[in-house]
Amino acid sequence: MAKRNQLENPIYVDMENKLNEVGPGMCLAKWTQVTLQLQTGHNHSCHHPRTHKINTKEIARNPSALHNTQYKKLRRREMLTGKRPEECDYCWNVEDNSDRFSDRTFKSQENWSKPHFDEIVNADWREDFNPRYVEVAFSNACNFKCSYCAPAFSTTWMQEIEKHGAYPTTDKFNSLEYNKFEDKMPIPKRDPNPYVDAFWKWWPDLYRDLHTFRITGGEPLLSNDTWKVLDYIIDEPNPNKELNLAINSNLGVPDNLIDKLIEKLKRIEDEDRVRELVIFTSVDTWGDQADYIRNGLEFNRFWYNLEKILSSLDRAVVTIMSTYNALSVPNYTKLIDGVYDLKRQFGSDDRYWKSALFLDSSYLRFPTHQTVQVLPQVWNKTIYEQAQLADFYSIPAFDKQFHGYSDIEIQKIKRIWDWKVADWDQKEQQVKEQRYNFGKYFQEHDKRRGTDFCKTFPELESFYRDCLEIKL
């Protein structure tokens, strides 16, 4: 790893040095963070390593073993004794091949990690530790079948695959064989779930230590456990009064559930039950094209519910997680315009983050046949112009209402363009199979779901038909 300029990013330099004093593989996230996929009984403490299965015998004895698994404790021991856990190779690749900070430094510097540094490094690796940042999915119940999603995260996807089988792509997209091999077949919502049971046994103790709690899915509003959490927060204020609460929703559930969510969150907000309240939702482009990508979405109703939440909750912040993919490109400009209008309308100093709405544009990496990489180079200009538009709508230095796009929102769109154009000469030779799969997938999509690709995406019709002509 190259020697760092000590005058640059001093906070991260200091944290990296502290971690390296313990060992070259030390990372506080193995203690302080966890994502729990209770529908499959899997967890991990960072999004880079693969998830691992939670042992039901462990959680029967100790519910906190949902996080403090024996497997994870052995990885902690490696970190505390100067070793680099093999599963964390993403960070080792960054550190060994560049002078950039890896995510172990960023995650350890987070305010849900850094304050616990001494406690963690001075403890025995066998000891349990309550995570401060917890993301949990209670079930895979979901009324959407987003084109890039999977049966482990959507019951409607599961029903389709059980009826029709995998898609006819070369990689058998969404085949259940992979889920079975990885032991990731979701437990049906109607069946007893030992992982959910263990969570509720652990919850009163976990709740006292939480910094950030995020409910995801599936569609969380279709899970009774989500409402149970909200009621608990209303009835039992967090002792440290510093809880950050985040909830995911596709905003496509029945109206009574949207109203119920607003009612619960309004009370939590008015009674200062949390320090910050964030609602995460998703849309990947505008109008009918957005409906096609996120099957089950009704765009106009989605936008109505989005405005309803922003007008009803005075301090809450909404983040749109936009999974920018090949089908996002033609109409993404309209989404940038639409989000900007809502920023101007609902931005306020009363909001937790001043701005009411954030557009988090992350490029899709899997499945590869739906990424922007499959598109011809002619679309590069469109992506570039979208980044320019967001830049045009940026926050002026004098604008204290934070109406416009922040630098990080703009940079994320620019990053999509960077990724699309990088090393194209080499990638063009690799995309033949991806384009073949693009054609096969959406041809089957129309057949199964009664959709019409060419009618919905006239801008991509010629490309689509070319994909259908590819022979492997």
CA dist 214 and 283 (Å) reads 19
On whether both 234 and 375 belong to a single domain, the answer is yes
Task: Examine residue 223 and state whether it is found in any structural domain, yes or no.
Answer: yes
Q: How many angstroms separate the Cα of 403 from the Cα of each of 309, 332, 333, 354, 358?
A: 18, 19, 17, 9, 10
pLDDT tens-digit series, residues 261-277: 999 999 999 999 999 99
Contact by Cβ (8 Å): 316, 358 = no
On whether both 173 and 228 belong to a single domain, the answer is yes
On whether both 18 and 47 belong to a single domain, the answer is yes
Number of domains in the chain: 2
Task: Examine residue 469 and state whether it is found in any structural domain, yes or no.
Answer: no
Residue 192: CB atoms within 10 Å: 8
Q: Which of 130, 155, 171 is the last residue of a domain?
A: 130
69-72: long-range pairs with CB below 8 Å, 24+ = 69/43, 72/30, 72/43, 72/45
What average pLDDT score do residues 398-424 get? 81
Task: Examine residue 257 and state whether it is found in any structural domain, yes or no.
Answer: yes
Residue 165, both tokens: 């089988």
Predicted confidence band of residue 353 (pLDDT cuts 50, 70, 90): confident
Tell me which amino acid residue 109 is: Q
- b vs e for 218-227, b when ≥16 Cβ sit within 10 Å of the residue's Cβ? bbbbbbebbe
**Position of tokens 């994870």?**
72
Peptide linkage before 218 cis (omega within 30 of 0): yes
On whether both 50 and 160 belong to a single domain, the answer is no
Instruction: State the helix-helix crossing angle for 332-346 and 299-312, rounded to 10 degrees.
Output: 20
Residue 159 has pLDDT above 60, yes or no: yes
On whether both 78 and 207 belong to a single domain, the answer is no
Task: Examine residue 15 and state whether it is found in any structural domain, yes or no.
Answer: yes
CA dist 274 and 262 (Å) reads 15
Task: Examine residue 466 and state whether it is found in any structural domain, yes or no.
Answer: no
Residue 2 has pLDDT above 60, yes or no: no
Range of the domain at 36: 10-130
On whether both 255 and 398 belong to a single domain, the answer is yes
What average pLDDT score do residues 249-270 get? 97
On whether both 91 and 231 belong to a single domain, the answer is no
pLDDT tens-digit series, residues 18-49: 999 999 999 999 999 999 999 999 999 998 89
Residue 217, both tokens: 């899915």
Peptide linkage before 188 cis (omega within 30 of 0): no
Residue 63 per-residue DSSP state: G
Run of H or E residues at 97: helix 89-97
CA dist 15 and 408 (Å) reads 23
Whole-number percent of the chain with pLDDT over 70: 96
On whether both 78 and 221 belong to a single domain, the answer is no
Strand intervals (E) in 149-299: 212-216, 244-248, 276-281, 294-295
In sequence order, what DSSP letters do the residues of 117-152 get, joined into one string?
Answer: HHHHHTS-TTS----SEEEEE-----S-EETT--GG
Q: How many angstroms separate the Cα of 275 from the Cα of each of 240, 271, 278, 413?
A: 10, 11, 10, 29
Task: Examine residue 444 and state whether it is found in any structural domain, yes or no.
Answer: no
Contact by Cβ (8 Å): 374, 431 = yes
Instruction: State the helix-helix crossing angle for 380-392 and 407-421, rounded to 10 degrees.
Output: 170
On whether both 190 and 317 belong to a single domain, the answer is yes
What average pLDDT score do residues 349-369 get? 90
pTM of the model: 0.92
Predicted confidence band of residue 425 (pLDDT cuts 50, 70, 90): low
Q: Which of 73, 101, 130 is the last residue of a domain?
A: 130
On whether both 191 and 116 belong to a single domain, the answer is no
pLDDT tens-digit series, residues 161-181: 999 999 999 999 999 998 898
Tell me which amino acid residue 238 is: N
Task: Examine residue 439 and state whether it is found in any structural domain, yes or no.
Answer: no
pLDDT tens-digit series, residues 188-243: 988 999 999 999 999 999 999 999 999 999 999 999 999 999 999 999 988 777 89
On whether both 121 and 179 belong to a single domain, the answer is no
Tell me the sheet residues that pair with 145.
Answer: 295
Task: Examine residue 5 and state whether it is found in any structural domain, yes or no.
Answer: no
In sequence order, what DSSP letters do the residues of 71-82 get, joined into one string?
Answer: HHHHHHHHHHTT
Question: Which pLDDT value is given to residue 162?
Answer: 96
Residue 101: CB atoms within 10 Å: 19
Instruction: State the helix-helix crossing angle for 224-235 and 255-270, rounded to 10 degrees.
Output: 20
On whether both 89 and 167 belong to a single domain, the answer is no
| Residues sharing a CB contact under 8 Å with residue 347, sequence separation 6 or more, in sequence order | 354, 355, 356, 401, 402, 403
Q: Which of 130, 156, 189 is the last residue of a domain?
A: 130
**Pairing mode, strands 294-295 and 145-146:** antiparallel
Backbone angles phi, psi at 393, to 5 degrees: -90, 20
Lowest mean pLDDT among 34-48, 369-383, 415-429: 415-429
